[in-house]
Structure 1
């Protein structure tokens, strides 16, 4: 395995991480700029198509191509990264289990700080909790891992669909439920748009964080299934030896982009009430369907980037994206700091005033700035600041 090949494969993974950062911010923008957290349990509470058709079109495109597709990409990369990290330590004769648990401890601490003090949409604490279960699979066969992938992802899809449909049926008949949700959303908008940091912190700790933490038991099995996709592909060495599996990746790209794209389009159509299906049923079906469509489309994206980065021209063009991905943890938290400053009351107070199209433009500006910043940073330092701190924590002397 030559050095050039290693460098190219590492850059491919960094490009994927950078692409995932862009997708995550695009999906999260709705939660940063509006009371999406409060409205998500009420089908149709937000207009499917706002009066501005540009905003409507952007909303539909985001739901079709972004929502539910990029946390699976981060999850896939986490599972693959776990395999590469673990195998590297084993080759060096180091205690892989212990160092990996340190890695997770740092991630959990960072995630809980992010969740408690900055923003309710944190995913890092969930990754840390699910990541511990990966140790149960590192020595299992590829076939066993693939079986668990299918079981966990399919069960999550069916369970979420059943849970959402059942909840929608119950709440549809509950007097005053819609008014209660809309009142909660109005309260959130008032607090986030004009409140101080302490006002917003108090609101989040009482109204949002407990629900996020209680959902861990629902989220961990699904995230574990997505991690196992990365572990499976890592064990098969399809990324490490991408040139040898060029044909497989091209077939995967075509099949997953087609199937995942079609299923995800159906998800968006159901979510936006474009089909003759009762809203309570359409919403629940859509949520379950996207649990399948998201990982499929994600694999299509992975195959696309693995394929195109075989060409030096594309690798060079995407180098700033790779730089952002190389500093993924730092940039993920920076996205939160930038957005809460832009939208919250202790910043520019834009909460509740930005439509989907403007939100997407803000997303592009933020990510482009991060890509440029990361490129300049990595010319002077080998790692991002949080990545360096993370590495120091992991490899400090064992006692």
Structure 2
């Protein structure tokens, strides 16, 4: 029996709406790294601009770091874990080998992610998702209680581990931040600006391979463990039926909204205080502690966003806004890759060469403009096709041997 893609009656529209919302947040968060040298973030890995920048750029940076950074990749991850459960259950009902089919999906995702990472942009998440996805298969037959315990433990563990790791690294950098190291760093930043804004495809590719790609690949196992924790929260929600039967879980959603809200806000405020040097802590230490803290703060605020969206959409008739978000979400893989393609054409030297010349506020407006185009394009495409082009290719690969 061949497993076909989900029909309109099988799809949960709320998931498409949240997925579309997640893609907007991902684009807003990624914009800083599309247009800014990665080497400039090395050591501290900061997304923010200095507080002596223009008021619009400072405001945009504060907004992104407070409400966006670290909240929307976890949202995408939550939906991936949930989607795995829904896919696996559909296969089981049709008496198909769900694990084998999902492994084929992961092989496709791994391949696309590697191509995206190497040839297009270094901030790819698909490769990491595929690695974590193989580990997710180990939990499919575990009880919800065990799955939840593992998910929470992984998130907490990664918070502690990242905080300790970056603290140690920043301490070493701080102690060595003499004239020669500062000169080398400044030279590297200037070279990155030149290559990324003026270089051709090959020159930029070689620069990224040397400065970004292999470092990211070496960190993939660590990143995959962090992602796996969120996957497991999504898998837990799938097994408990939180999305399939919202009415039966309204009280759970309300409790989640309340407790994820207050805890996420408090931890995010602390993250911002540490990140922007508002607290009496050395900057190198505050930066490290803030990064580690956001591993927990981000998912908590994400769960607040998700629970608020679920409760808002429950028993609500779709409107223009929700239908538009859902259209983008139904083409999530296509739109995610398109965001990178459009951005590198805008910022890299083999495109318009705007790299390094766009501030935080202009970058935010650019992201919103790209997203509006994706809304229009997605709605037009889905008037004629059931899926986006990459989704159709993914489905064809997955089901070709069933």
Question: So what's the TM-score if we normalise by structure 2?
Answer: 0.94
Distance across 2 between alignment mates of 1:80 and 1:58: 32
2:346 is matched with which residue?
342
SS at match of 2:287: helix
Distance across 2 between alignment mates of 1:31 and 1:317: 28
Q: Size of the alignment, in residue pairs?
A: 393
Where in structure 1 do 4 or more consecutive aligned residues deviate above 6 Å? 43-46
CA contact (8 A) 1:84 1:234 kept: yes
Cα distance, 1:41 vs structure 2: 1.8
Distance across 2 between alignment mates of 1:246 and 1:299: 14
Cα distance, 1:37 vs structure 2: 4.7
2:54 to 52, 57, 78: 52
Residues 9 and 34 (structure 1), Cα distance of their counterparts in 2 relative to 1, 3 Å cut: same
Distance across 2 between alignment mates of 1:29 and 1:188: 17
CA contact (8 A) 1:39 1:46 kept: no
Cα distance, 1:182 vs structure 2: 2.5
Distance across 1 between alignment mates of 2:67 and 2:15: 20
Gaps of 5+ in 1: 1-5
SS at match of 2:43: coil
2:200 is matched with which residue?
196
- Map 1:50-199 onto structure 2 (within 5 A): 50-174=52-176, 175=178, 176-199=180-203
Distance across 1 between alignment mates of 2:261 and 2:38: 28
CA contact (8 A) 1:149 1:228 kept: yes
Gaps of 5+ in 2: 1-7
SS at match of 2:12: helix
1:237 is matched with which residue?
241
Structure 1 residues 167-225: Cα deviation after superposition (integer angstroms, max 9, x where no partner): 11111111333332232222111101111111101111122111010001211111111
Cα distance, 1:8 vs structure 2: 9.0
1:41 is matched with which residue?
43
Matched, 1:276 2:272: no
1:22 is matched with which residue?
24
SS at match of 2:383: helix
SS at match of 1:382: coil
CA contact (8 A) 1:104 1:128 kept: yes
Structure 1 residues 90-113: Cα deviation after superposition (integer angstroms, max 9, x where no partner): 010001111000000000000000
2:4 is matched with which residue?
none
Which of 245-254 and 80-89 deviates more?
A: 245-254
Matched, 1:383 2:370: no
Cα distance, 1:250 vs structure 2: 2.0
Distance across 2 between alignment mates of 1:36 and 1:207: 8
Distance across 1 between alignment mates of 2:88 and 2:182: 49
Which of 7-16 and 233-242 deviates more?
A: 7-16
2:360 is matched with which residue?
356
Which of 331-340 and 29-38 deviates more?
A: 29-38
Residues 334 and 106 (structure 1), Cα distance of their counterparts in 2 relative to 1, 3 Å cut: same
Distance across 2 between alignment mates of 1:133 and 1:37: 31
CA contact (8 A) 1:25 1:363 kept: yes
Residues 249 and 315 (structure 1), Cα distance of their counterparts in 2 relative to 1, 3 Å cut: farther
Distance across 1 between alignment mates of 2:96 and 2:142: 20
Cα distance, 1:281 vs structure 2: 1.1
Distance across 1 between alignment mates of 2:48 and 2:365: 21
Q: CA RMSD in A?
A: 1.6
